[in-house]
Amino acid sequence: MSKKNNKEACALCGRELKELSRYIEGNEGYLCSDCSAIANDYFNAHNSIKPNNKKYDIKILPPKEIKALLDQYVIGQDYAKKILSVAVYNHYKRIMQDNTNNDVEIEKSNVLLIGPTGSGKTLLARTLAKALNVPFAIADATTVTEAGYVGDDVENILLRLIQNADGDVKLAEKGIIYIDEIDKISRKSESRSITRDVSGEGVQQALLKIIEGTISSVPPYGGRKHPHQNNIDINTSNILFICGGAFIDIEKSIAERTSKKGLGFAAEVNSMENLEYDEIMKHIATEDLVKFGLIPELIGRLPVVATLQELKEEDLIRILKEPKNSLIKQYKKLFEYDNVDLSFDDEALKVIVKKAMEEHTGARGLRALFEKVMLDSMYDLPSDKKSIKIKKEYVEEKLNIH
């Protein structure tokens, strides 16, 4: 530094002011711009631990209450909701207890959700986090790469969770991470490859480290780590990981395996059209997931497996009408702001649902179809009309159905 020893220099690195382009002058000395930036990184990383975050007050709800909350937002999928409710209750019961008695170590119950596109996997995970009032982050497995390749490091997933916890690392350590498209990073074959597989086994190994529990060093601003920044340390041992994927055609592998073992229901493998997807998926086993391309170590860290059913036409109709935040209720509220009463014919809804089923987008595709149908009506708002009724013919016109 120092003003006291008559040497005008940076208090930290000792460089003289005449060597510096920029510096800060204080009561007792100077700080160069480089040291100031390092100090800023340090405090940003360490001041992110805020133990008294009032935004989140974690609730430990019993399984029946968790399922009741899921029922308000997610239609159907009762079996999957029951499995999830028990797994989540056990997880938070475990981590919120006093751990002074360590005679039994209870492993955490990470979850694997398997179901068709648009069946409600992401919605289930998001609703769980909302019900329990814990930080939540979503990641797409296809954007993650193993160390050394261009793409997201697994640490960036953890950074998202920390950011969503308002920087409270201790709170983030009790959060939920949903990793979507986990099936898209399956290795290309059951045998281990000699060469690296950027989007396959290497990524699974990278995810495995944080899922099974580790102390991970996270760059405070994302991107790659470098040795001259102060990273945030986060313990992933109590983070609940929920992985989801469609696992397209895995039911064929299950039917073939169960037929060979004589389980009866899959006796006619060659006539797959006679087999119900939902019935087959009840018999999924570890060997089916390994054959699909997940590594055994990752499967072992996802001990709770819940399969979601294919949504039928009546399910999609209920999804449009019944949840607290259903699309129909959302659009009715938007029109209500302009003093217009919006309503839909049941036949009009059936046309939209049928189109979604033809496009194999499930519940996820309903929003886009509604936007097409409602665009012109919303464009004309505000309007002199006091009520608008959407009919079948109007929907067919807007969706180019002839």
Does residue 356 share a domain with residue 293? no
Domain for residue 52, yes or no?
no
Q: 115-168 pLDDT, tens per residue?
A: 998 899 999 999 999 888 899 999 999 888 765 444 467 888 999 999 999 999
Does residue 391 share a domain with residue 287? no
Q: Quick one: pLDDT band at residue 43, thresholds 50, 70, 90?
A: low
Domain for residue 55, yes or no?
no
Q: Quick one: pLDDT band at residue 107, thresholds 50, 70, 90?
A: confident
Domain for residue 91, yes or no?
yes
Q: Provide the whole-model pTM.
A: 0.77
Looking at the 3D structure of the chain, how many domains does it have?
3
In the listed set 287, 307, 327, which residue is the last one of a domain according to the structure? 307
CA trace torsion 324, 328, 330, 333 (10° rounding):
-110
Give mean pLDDT, residues 292-312. Answer: 93
Give mean pLDDT, residues 267-287. Answer: 72
Output the domain CATH number for residue 389: 1.10.8.60
Does residue 36 share a domain with residue 92? no
Does residue 295 share a domain with residue 197? yes
Give mean pLDDT, residues 5-19. Answer: 77
Domain for residue 212, yes or no?
yes
Q: 276-285 pLDDT, tens per residue?
A: 888 889 889 9
> Residues annotated in the binding site, as ranges?
10, 13, 32, 35, 116-123
Residues 304 and 289: their CA atoms lie apart, in Å, by 13
Does residue 376 share a domain with residue 262? no
> What is the structure's pLDDT at 31?
82
Domain for residue 53, yes or no?
no
In the listed set 307, 325, 350, which residue is the last one of a domain according to the structure? 307
Residues 365 and 26: their CA atoms lie apart, in Å, by 60
**Using CB atoms within 10 A of its CB, is residue 319 exposed (0-12), middle (13-18) or buried (19+)?**
buried
Give mean pLDDT, residues 347-366. Answer: 92
Give mean pLDDT, residues 244-262. Answer: 85
Does residue 113 share a domain with residue 14? no
Does residue 117 share a domain with residue 30? no
Query: SS3 letters for the chain?
Result: CCCCCCCCEECCCCCEHHHCCCEEECCCCEEEHHHHHHHHHHHHHHCCCCCCCCCCCCCCCCHHHHHHHHHHHCCCCHHHHHHHHHHHHHHHHHHCCCCCCCCCCCCCCCEEEECCCCCCHHHHHHHHHHHHCCCEEEEEHHHECCCCCCCECHHHHHHHHHHHCCCCHHHHCCCEEEEECHHHHCCCCCCCCCCCCCCCHHHHHHHHHHHHCCEEEECCCCCCCCCCCCCEEEECCCCEEEEEECCCCHHHHHHHHHHHCCCCCCCCCCCHHHCCHHHHHCCCCHHHHHHHCCCHHHHHCCCEEEECCCCCHHHHHHHHHCCCCCHHHHHHHHHHCCCCEEEECHHHHHHHHHHHHHCCCHHHHHHHHHHHHHHHHHHCCCCCCCEEEECHHHHHHHCCCC
> Residues annotated in the binding site for ATP, as ranges?
116-123
Domain for residue 385, yes or no?
yes
Query: Angle at Cα 33 formed by Cα 27 and Cα 36, nearest 5°?
Result: 70
Does residue 290 share a domain with residue 346? no
In the listed set 307, 323, 355, which residue is the last one of a domain according to the structure? 307
DSSP strand pairing (240-245 vs 232-235):
unpaired
Q: How many residues does the chain have?
A: 402
Nearest to 21 by CA among 37, 6, 32: 32
> Residues annotated in the binding site for Zn(2+), as ranges?
10, 13, 32, 35
> What is the structure's pLDDT at 261?
64
Domain for residue 54, yes or no?
no
Residues 6 or more apart whose Cβ sits within 8 Å of residue 102: none
Q: Which two tokens stand for residue 282?
A: 């009840």
Does residue 80 share a domain with residue 118? yes
What whole-number percentage of the chain has pLDDT above 90? Answer: 52
Nearest to 285 by CA among 109, 114, 88, 51: 114
Domain for residue 190, yes or no?
yes
Does residue 331 share a domain with residue 300? no
Give mean pLDDT, residues 90-94. Answer: 89
Q: 191-220 pLDDT, tens per residue?
A: 444 444 545 788 899 899 999 999 998 887
Q: Quick one: pLDDT band at residue 236, thresholds 50, 70, 90?
A: very high
Does residue 77 share a domain with residue 222? yes
Does residue 150 share a domain with residue 24? no
> What is the structure's pLDDT at 222?
64
Domain range for residue 4? 1-47
